[in-house]
A = this chain, B = another copy of it.
Amino acid sequence: MSSENAFEITFLPDNVKVKAEVGESILEVANRGHIHINASCGGEGVCGRCQVELREGQVTASPGLYLSEEDFAQGLRLACRAKASGPATLYIPIESRADASSFKKAAKAEENLAVDERDPMVIQYNLEMTPPDAADNAADLERVTQALAASDLRDLDIELGALKKMPQVLRDENFNVRASVFFEPAIADPSRPPYGRLLSLSKATLDETYYGLAVDVGTTSVWVRLVDLATNAPCPAIGNLNAQISFGEDVISRIVYASKGNGLQKLQSQVIETINGLLARLEENYPKFRDRLYLMTSAGNTTMSHLLVGVEPKNIRLSPYAPPVAAWPSIRPSFLGLDVPSHTVMKIFPSVSSYVGGDIVAGVLAAGLYKNPELTLFIDVGTNGEIVIGNQDWMTCAACSAGPAFEGGGVKCGMRAAPGAIEEFFYEPARKEHRLGVIGRGRPIGICGSGLINIVAELFRGGVISKQGKYVENSCPQVREGEDGLEYLLSPASESAGEKDVVLTEIDIENLIRAKGAMFSGYQTLVEAVGLTMGDLERVIIAGGFGSSLNLENAIAIGLLPFLPLEKFAYIGNSSLTGASLALMSRSMWLQAQNIRGMMTNFELSETPGYMDKYMASQFIPHTDGALFGL
């Protein structure tokens, strides 16, 4: 950085000054000063969580999706989008401050988006043919077939759409065209030559861009990432709520809905519409990208994959929990109703079991467990919490039925991590006072999952909640007798967005303890099953949307995460989407995903000896056995 052009940006409330240059994003400048601003989307301007307030000076920015004209007039800016343009003072509100201690190893999803070699499942070939003449009037398709044979490609299946367009494309391009060929990976017998399918013949321009689309089909939200398969350059991910949410918040309620009347079709059309909406948004930035979209990968839990394809999922939840499909055949997404051409092929990540799905396989792929000697605990915290323990040599996995507490369910004032949710909570025992951080900075409406963890951890630390998860009487004025027993008043109705007091009840605490206990006893069971202890874990990788807002120290304090040095933890972001993106880029990554699935030994926890005992022992804060938490 040349010092003559440099100036200083001051960050409040910490009053840290960082040198900056014109054009740098405020997020970059803050990072350099070790000031961590929330940017869940990795600084792509799509999550709106990195809002900062301009107090003095100026930055270059404009309103947008996440900032209204009004917000903007009041000085709000997105740190990832605002550019330094001169000396300025910026206030970082509590909602935008990331707990810097939490994710020492945190990486933006894109940092993992690198593969050793570019070998996508769809490869393009330039075919140079001679036009027919009287001496050689072989059929158009024979010319194409011969040109492909010159690249050692024989007996390709040919997409009907490609066939229909062929005569015109060949003549428009004077018989010099680009062929896009999909190679079906052979899984059972990798020695056999991959079976090829000619997806399309198109103009052979200088611009070699062609696309793949990774899709993470989550129960709550759906994310997509476009990748330029010619260069492996990823485009920013975009996401939206899974429209199925109106038909039940968790997989069980979706399965139940699917089994009634035309419920399956309805749920399928909901998720298809959600993805179609994202495709339409992509179209704005990447006009006509669909013409060049040849490959899709999709990662989702077992239920979500079934609903996407339209396969009746009811057996997933019926004993003995044999899902219809674990390893999916190639699917034509256009047949499912997706707004993509018939030349697009979709590969769906394989599931391990009914409750350890393709999203986890993709996540493990993204986390690199399969190539890492370190003993790693990989977790995705949620209603259905998934756990993987292993390394490059072996892996075990399990799903814990944690219940909906982490997603705000079963909690009196629970809600999803949306504006109005209490996410941050600080309790000062000396003054018996608390401060709240609310998503979106408005008045509180309720408590989200990470807020719940933070509140319980702080109140436990402050002596307001006992080891048993009960309120300590007279410990502070906020504890009072409510409708459902003792409760803690977080925000009276008068200070809240709704008409009711926002409170945390003892029942809520019980639900959280059950949920965190289910997860923790899951780790324990898997660790012990392979003859190890929690202390042997060398890395803990936290995946999923929940992980991004998780306060590590608080999660350990309540016994959700194991008691390990913080530097062993890493947040990997949306690893399902990352894994799906890697498989787009690389056939060998796709094959690796199959390999990972094959490596995993699945434990049905409810049928594993010792699990229930461990679960019972975990029903305290942090645990019956304090030694597990250094107590």
Contacts and interface: CB of A to CB of B under 8 A. Distances in A.
Interface of A: 132-134, 137-142, 145, 149, 154-158, 160, 163-164, 166-168, 184, 186-189, 192-193, 195, 309-312, 314-315, 319-327, 329-332, 335, 351, 353-354, 604, 607
Given A137-B353, A142-B327, 5 more contacts: A139-B324, A160-B335, A164-B312, A168-B312, A192-B192
B188 A325 contact: no
A141 B325 contact: yes
B160 A331 contact: yes
Q: Secondary structure of the A side of the interface? A: loop
Contacts of A607: 134
Contacts of A332: 160
B145 A327 contact: yes
A165 B616 CA distance: 42
A29 to B, nearest CB: 50
Nearest to A131: B322
Given A160-B332, A319-B134, A324 B166 contact: yes
28 contacts: A132-B322, A133-B320, A134-B320, A137-B321, A138-B322, A138-B326, A139-B322, A139-B326, A139-B351, A140-B323, A140-B325, A149-B188, A154-B189, A155-B187, A155-B188, A155-B189, A156-B329, A160-B331, A160-B332, A160-B335, A164-B309, A164-B310, A164-B311, A166-B311, A166-B324, A166-B325, A167-B311, A167-B312
Nearest to A312: B167
Contact of A163 (B184, B329, B604): B329
Contacts of A330: 157
Contacts of A325: 139-141, 163, 166
Contacts of A155: 184, 186-189, 192, 195
A94 B395 CA distance: 85
Which of A163, A323, A329 has the most chain B CB atoms inside 10 A of its CB?
Answer: A329
A399 to B, nearest CB: 13
A182 to B, nearest CB: 12
Nearest to A153: B188
Contacts of A164: 309-312
Which 6 residue pairs of A and B lie closest in terms of their CB atoms, listed nearest first? A132-B322, A139-B326, A158-B329, A154-B188, A137-B320, A137-B322
Contacts of A315: 140, 167
Nearest to A352: B139
Contacts of A195: 155, 157, 195
Given A184-B157, A309-B160, A332-B160, A142 B326 contact: yes
Nearest to A142: B326
Contacts of A331: 160
Nearest to A193: B192
A608 to B, nearest CB: 12
A336 to B, nearest CB: 8
Contacts of A158: 329
Contacts of A351: 139
A334 B114 CA distance: 41
Contacts of A312: 164, 167-168
A188 B149 CA distance: 9
Contacts of A189: 154-155
Contacts of A335: 160
Which of A195, A321, A330 has the most chain B CB atoms inside 10 A of its CB?
Answer: A195
A150 to B, nearest CB: 12
A259 to B, nearest CB: 11
Contact of A326 (B141, B310, B353): B141
A476 B330 CA distance: 76
A266 to B, nearest CB: 15
Nearest to A314: B167
Contacts of A149: 188
Contacts of A138: 322, 326
A525 to B, nearest CB: 17
Contacts of A163: 309, 311, 324-325, 329
Contacts of A329: 156-158, 163
